[in-house]
Structure 1
Amino acid sequence: MDAHNMAQTGNLRQLRDHLEETLLRALRAPGGRTPATITLSARPAAEAAGQAGLKERCQERDGHRCVISGIWDPAHRPEDDIMFGSLNAAHIIPFALGSFSNEVERQQINAIWGAIYRYFPSIRSRLQLEIADVNREENILTLYRPLHELFGAFHIVLEKTETRDRYHLKTFGTISGVLAPHLPRDGIVTLRSHDGRYPLPDPSLLALHAAIGNILHATGSAERIEKILRDFEGASGGLAPDGSTDIGSLLSMRLLSLD
């Protein structure tokens, strides 16, 4: 409906820019960065304990294995299984969108959540997920750390099939030859609960993630946002000498940083 209305008034580009600002950049910027690069000891003790507890609960639910690759957590692997590595609790809606520390951040994050509710209404109406709920088990996948980074960057998504909790793994671009052998050969990922106390990742959240991934790569936004992120990560010493740095977008990314 929004696209139709904007097309009638000649403002379709404005809608694209709005979606890129409130959803695409916002969800891509901190994606894949939690908890892999969060130093829990630097946060309040209660929050650190909560994050550690969340990771353990989700690992118990997922059988202490990456839900995509089947790679084991080192502490729980069978003795004769050599496929093990560091596992992360990977947020579908990024961890960074679960809190704010000042009024500017509050307004920014409220705008992002407003767009999520508008374009993915079941997240509020059925799942009733709100800002403070990003650490619910429904918003978490157990992933091998390199796959977490790809998932957070929307280079891999899980698209629903006709069977609940069964997904088609879709990749964008070239996946490292080191990781490719660990992906399911049939392209199917089935989520199974090994501990019924904790709910599986919610289909509506994975649908949001898949939709954002497809839009990012279909519209060329992925490349633009990657450039903005590179500018952000390298901005400590100044701006690009050729004048290509997107200052406004850089500031927007800064508001979404975790540190």
Structure 2
Amino acid sequence: MIPAMRSLKLEERDRATSIFNDIIMRFEHSQTPEAECGYKPITLIALMEKEVSEKDEFLRLFFSFIGQNPSTEGGEWETDVEHMLSRLASFDSWTTEEIDALRESLAAFAKYLVDNSLLPRRSPELMQDARPLLCSVKAFAAHTPQPTPAPLSPSILSDAAISTPQRVSILRRDCLARDRHRCVITRKFDAEEAGTRWKREKHNMKDDDGQLFSERDTFAFVEVAHIIPHFMPLSNEGGERKLASGHTIASTDAWLTMFQVESKQVAHRILNMFNPTAVNLINGPNIDRPRNALTPTHGLHRQFGEFDIAFEPIGPEPHTYKIDHVDPDDFVSVEKLLITVTLYLTPDRTIDPPSPELLEIHRAIGRILHVSAVGDYIEGFLRDMEEMEGGGVIPNGSSRLDDFVRFRLTVTGWLEGRSPAL
């Protein structure tokens, strides 16, 4: 079981930080080559520690994982931080075998982070195909569904009665109204809404600020994009897991339930390390609320959803951001970036603005995915899983059956009423 998270004592924090930095410095330059494991494991660990706000929790998780007892089945979590730190304080004088074991533990911890916080989770309600799509956090976030904006007030129906497509339809309507039917980055007006107004008003059509459009104005199709996508496992209030086929796995199925619940707990815990209020902001139906969404054009939606674009807060004015590529040397862009924008607010604040906290998590994830090469690794991993899903052999001829089973259990959910083609 995963140990409960508690704040470190001041002396523990200082010592843990020092030992952590020493370990990173010792192993990062000699980490497993990217070509071998697909990403930079030590760089990933270092970036996670740098980007999270709850560093005590991350350090405790790190040292607890490294302190697992490999001789025990499943590994027992070491919970005595002082004992773990005492063991690791002298790692520079360890034998070659002990150093290699520590290096393997670091690689295992990096994979643990990838499996539990960066690989995607899909909501069954968003499955738009009979066969589950295997897509990464990046790819899934780039494709928030775009249903017609809902005409109904969300107060008419309870959250429990609103399916995810209905919530996203309401979300699109509210975000377009809040953002004045404009892309939050380019300020281009939504072409669909412009067409509707043209049919009604012709040359007298105006924007949301009451200004007449001119012949020089250009339009674009504006979409709604989730800041944090639907990549976490969802459970209903009864503690049962609903899968893509509509089947339900009762909580009495102890092995599978424990496997899925623990994965969800770890994902929540790691998300909490970025911001302790984050889970509540996007838990359940909250993920489809305006504070977790904004309105880009189609091309920018894809780049934002792939964590290639980040919003960085600047200056004293609220909701003002510098918008740029996560990789400043990125040559490919659908729009010229490195711009500063102040997001629109509704006059009476009846519709929440995009959450600064969630935008910061999005920025941090983008940096982690890019600098550690985990983003590219996930894309390759999921291409392999898709090959296996279709019954094919992955390009290098190997069989990643263990990865496939774990992925299907924790990500898309198994038991769809048919066996996958293996």
Bin for the TM-score computed over the shorter chain:
0.7 to 0.9
Q: How does 1:139-150 map to 2 (within 5 A)?
A: 139-150=292-303
Give, in angstroms, the shift of residue 240 of structure 1.
Answer: 1.5
Contact 1:97 1:109 (C-alpha < 8 Å) held by counterparts: yes
Q: Which moved more, 1:186-195 or 1:85-94?
A: 186-195
2:274 alignment partner AA? Y
Q: How does 1:1-259 map to 2 (within 5 A)?
A: 1=56, 2-3=58-59, 5-6=62-63, 9=88, 10=102, 11-26=105-120, 27-28=137-138, 30-36=140-146, 46-47=162-163, 48-77=165-194, 78=213, 80=215, 82-97=217-232, 99-100=234-235, 101-102=242-243, 107=261, 108-124=263-279, 128-163=281-316, 164-171=318-325, 172=327, 174=330, 176=332, 179-181=334-336, 183=337, 186-194=338-346, 196-235=349-388, 236-243=390-397, 246-250=400-404, 254=408, 256=411
Deviations 1:144-184 (A, max 9, x none): 1111111111111112224331122231363545x134x4x
Change in CA separation of 1:156 and 1:120 when aligned onto 2, cut-off 3 Å: same
Change in CA separation of 1:234 and 1:157 when aligned onto 2, cut-off 3 Å: farther
* Secondary structure of 1:189 counterpart: strand
Deviations 1:31-66 (A, max 9, x none): 212115x899xxxx9433332121010111011011
Contact 2:192 2:221 (C-alpha < 8 Å) held by counterparts: no
> For 2:396 and 2:233, how far apart are their aligned partners in 1?
36
**Structure 1 stretches (4+) deviating beyond 6 angstroms?**
none
> For 1:69 and 1:233, how far apart are their aligned partners in 2?
35
Identity %: 26
Higher relative contact order (CA 8 A, sep 6+): 1
Q: Kindly name which structure, 1 or 2, has the bigger radius of gyration based on alpha carbons.
A: 2
* Secondary structure of 2:296 counterpart: strand
Structure 1: segments with no counterpart, 5+ residues: none
Contact 1:113 1:131 (C-alpha < 8 Å) held by counterparts: no
> For 1:202 and 1:213, how far apart are their aligned partners in 2?
17
> For 2:332 and 2:405, how far apart are their aligned partners in 1?
31
RMSD of Structure 2 on Structure 1 (CA): 3.3
* Secondary structure of 1:188 counterpart: strand
Normalising by structure 2, report the TM-score.
0.51
* Secondary structure of 2:341 counterpart: strand
Give, in angstroms, the shift of residue 133 of structure 1.
Answer: 1.2
> For 1:58 and 1:227, how far apart are their aligned partners in 2?
33
> For 1:144 and 1:251, how far apart are their aligned partners in 2?
37
Change in CA separation of 1:233 and 1:217 when aligned onto 2, cut-off 3 Å: same
Normalising by structure 1, report the TM-score.
0.79
Give, in angstroms, the shift of residue 218 of structure 1.
Answer: 1.0
1:18 alignment partner AA? Y
Change in CA separation of 1:219 and 1:244 when aligned onto 2, cut-off 3 Å: farther
Give, in angstroms, the shift of residue 234 of structure 1.
Answer: 4.7
1:112 alignment partner AA? A
Tell me how many residue pairs correspond in the alignment.
Answer: 248
1:188 alignment partner AA? T
> For 2:215 and 2:312, how far apart are their aligned partners in 1?
33
Contact 1:193 1:200 (C-alpha < 8 Å) held by counterparts: yes
